[in-house]
Structure 1
Amino acid sequence: MADTEPPYQGDQGMVPRQPSHAAADLLSTLKKALFILGSTTIIFAALRNSLTYHLQHFWGASGNFWQHQWDKILHSFGDDSYVLMTYGTTIVSYIVYWSVGSVYTLMDLFNKPAFIKRYKIQPGTNEPVELQKLIKCILWVNFNQTVISIPFSMLCYYLMCLRGFDQSPQLPTFHWVLFELIVCILFEEIGFYYSHRLFHHRLLYKHFHKLHHEWQSPIAITAIYAHPLEHMFSNMAPVFLGPLVMGSHVATIWLWVSLALLSTLNAHSGYHLPFFPSPEAHDFHHLKFNQCYGVLGVLDLLHGTDDKFRASKCFSRHLMMLSLVPPREAFPDDKPEGKVIKGKQC
């Protein structure tokens, strides 16, 4: 970033939300949540028999396949839970991160395919990405994925042993895995929002989180480009909370970690692609620094840390696009106001 950047870009620029507005937003959020839960309950009750039948039929047809794959892993690497959780989780994380991150990185390096530029959230940035910054990012990320992640995974294993967790060679049921994933998502939202916002405090930001914000227009692999302490407490710890509370099976942990990595790669990608979850909120966070600290946006709404985002055109684009029309074309920026002189906007 430019040398003129202020030493801290945290909460000091925020305007405190008035209590009446906070109460109104909270009431609105609760109404939406109750409406969704109520509608889901009614639909599920109406379709319960049919839905249950099809889910059981699907799991019965595919369950043996997944169990067979898990049996092959146990046969090849042994059923030592320490090895599976410590080294297995690290290897799975590394493969998922770089198999997807490399695709995004190649697009940023070569600006290919050409049409992909239409989906840029911040057009004109990283076209192409600066090679020196990219190399620095790759080195930092690999350091975090090895030197930091392996000891952290060891700690997670011992904490899981104290809590007690599923070490059965049998995979958990589809319904239980789905329930655990929901719990993991909720705990990650809580853990990430508050730890992330803490690292924006003026006493911590310049020492830790400023490194991550060197990328005002992020690319996918900057997802875990962070100070090692921040990587432990704000990246990995929130993801681990759910499995620790639930005592999850190692296979469920691998699935959850993979989903969390895919989510953060998308959030940092700089592209709002069709049929992908919207990365507009976190991209806006990198652009403005003191907005959109969370993953789901629920706590941002409750704490008023997304007011500028909701007032921006980016919020109009913050949805999953179900067509090939780029969000910037579907929701173009407002034309600047001013006088028209000789056919030109002034």
Structure 2
Amino acid sequence: GLYTLMDLTGRPAFLLRYKIQDTAPYPVSGWQVFRVVRQVLFNQLVVGIPFGLVAHQLLVWRGYDRSHQLPTFHWVLFELAVCVLVEEAGFYYSHRLLHHPRLYRHVHKQHHEWTAPIAITAIYCHPLEHLCSNLLPPLLGVLLLGSHPATAWLWFSVALLSTLNAHSGFHLPFFPSPEAHDYHHLKFNQNYGVLGVLDRLHGTDQQFRRTAAYRRHVMLLSLAPLKDLWPDEGKKSLQ
């Protein structure tokens, strides 16, 4: 909600200095946001609710931790780490498959209408993509481990906030860097994963690693925008 308010109004203005693609039209129009919201609601209601019901039945069939006692802190950390790695594999390979020309044209192209993404476009996509890339990968780790509901909901919250940040278009202080996925929207054929581990393994980040965006791909620990330190090549030559 806060991201969308900022995307519609361009305020607070002091945050605009953290915009990654600051040459893209901004703020965005209400009609653009309406089109996104319409698809997002469809995905959440028509795809998400039935998926949730099926996921619950799968967890019941597999068996999961129904204890009234919360899991220990170190076990939660272990399960979160497993979920992160499983999601990385599930998202990378499903996402890369969606870039096959036949699937891209009919399915994934909708998500890439936004070359400069905003947060709400995180699940602006074809329903099939929402199922295969947005819903299944985060569930797989929980299903594999039979996680306690508290751990599962913590993980789902982390995954949701992560994808909102990755699509926000802002590299804000003390937030995980969204530079890699923002670059994916800009260039299409780089950075298919979440963590970047499989991109490095398969060489699908080679172009990205030669850019200023890659040097900026760290958590910002000050209030000075990283693009002031590492501007894009075209801007650097003008300074």
TM-score higher than 0.5: yes
> CA 1:337/1:142 → structure 2, altered by over 3 Å: closer, same or farther?
closer
- SS of 2:189 mapped into structure 1: coil
User: How far does the alpha carbon of each residue in 1:283-336 deviate from its partner, in whole angstroms, 9 at most, with x for none?
Assistant: 000000010000000000010100110011100100001000001112123357
Which residues of structure 1 form unaligned runs of 5+? Answer: 1-101, 339-344
Amino acid at match of 1:290: N
User: How far does the alpha carbon of each residue in 1:141-176 deviate from its partner, in whole angstroms, 9 at most, with x for none?
Assistant: 111111111111111111112211111222211111
Say if 2:51 is the partner of 1:152: yes
Amino acid at match of 2:192: Y
Match of 1:312 in 2: 211
Shift of residue 250, structure 1, vs aligned partner: 1.1
Shift of residue 272, structure 1, vs aligned partner: 0.2
Amino acid at match of 1:252: T
Shift of residue 130, structure 1, vs aligned partner: 2.1
Separation in 2, partners of 1:126, 1:161: 48
> CA 1:336/1:323 → structure 2, altered by over 3 Å: closer, same or farther?
closer
Q: In the alignment, is the contact (CA less than 8 A) between 1:275 and 1:320 conserved in 2?
A: yes
Q: Which has the larger radius of gyration?
A: 1
Amino acid at match of 1:155: V
User: How far does the alpha carbon of each residue in 1:247-287 deviate from its partner, in whole angstroms, 9 at most, with x for none?
Assistant: 01111111100000000000000000010000000000000
Provide runs of 4+ in structure 1 moved above 4 Å: 335-338
Say if 2:119 is the partner of 1:119: no
Match of 1:251 in 2: 150
1:64-103 equivalences under 5 Å are 102-103=1-2
The normalised TM-score by structure 2 is: 0.96
Q: 1:238 aligns with which of 137, 144, 150?
A: 137
Shift of residue 125, structure 1, vs aligned partner: 2.0
- SS of 1:211 mapped into structure 2: helix
Match of 1:226 in 2: 125
Match of 1:264 in 2: 163
Separation in 1, partners of 2:101, 2:157: 32
1:13-24 equivalences under 5 Å are none
User: How far does the alpha carbon of each residue in 1:195-225 deviate from its partner, in whole angstroms, 9 at most, with x for none?
Assistant: 0000110110111101100111000010011
Match of 1:107 in 2: 6
Which residues of structure 2 form unaligned runs of 5+? Answer: none
Separation in 2, partners of 1:325, 1:235: 33
Match of 2:232 in 1: 333
Match of 1:91 in 2: none
Separation in 1, partners of 2:107, 2:235: 38
Q: 2:201 aligns with which of 302, 314, 327?
A: 302
Match of 1:24 in 2: none
Number of aligned residue pairs: give it: 238
Match of 1:129 in 2: 28
Shift of residue 112, structure 1, vs aligned partner: 0.7
Q: 2:69 aligns with which of 170, 179, 195?
A: 170
Separation in 1, partners of 2:136, 2:102: 21
Separation in 2, partners of 1:337, 1:172: 51
- SS of 1:302 mapped into structure 2: helix
CA RMSD of aligned residues (A): 1.4
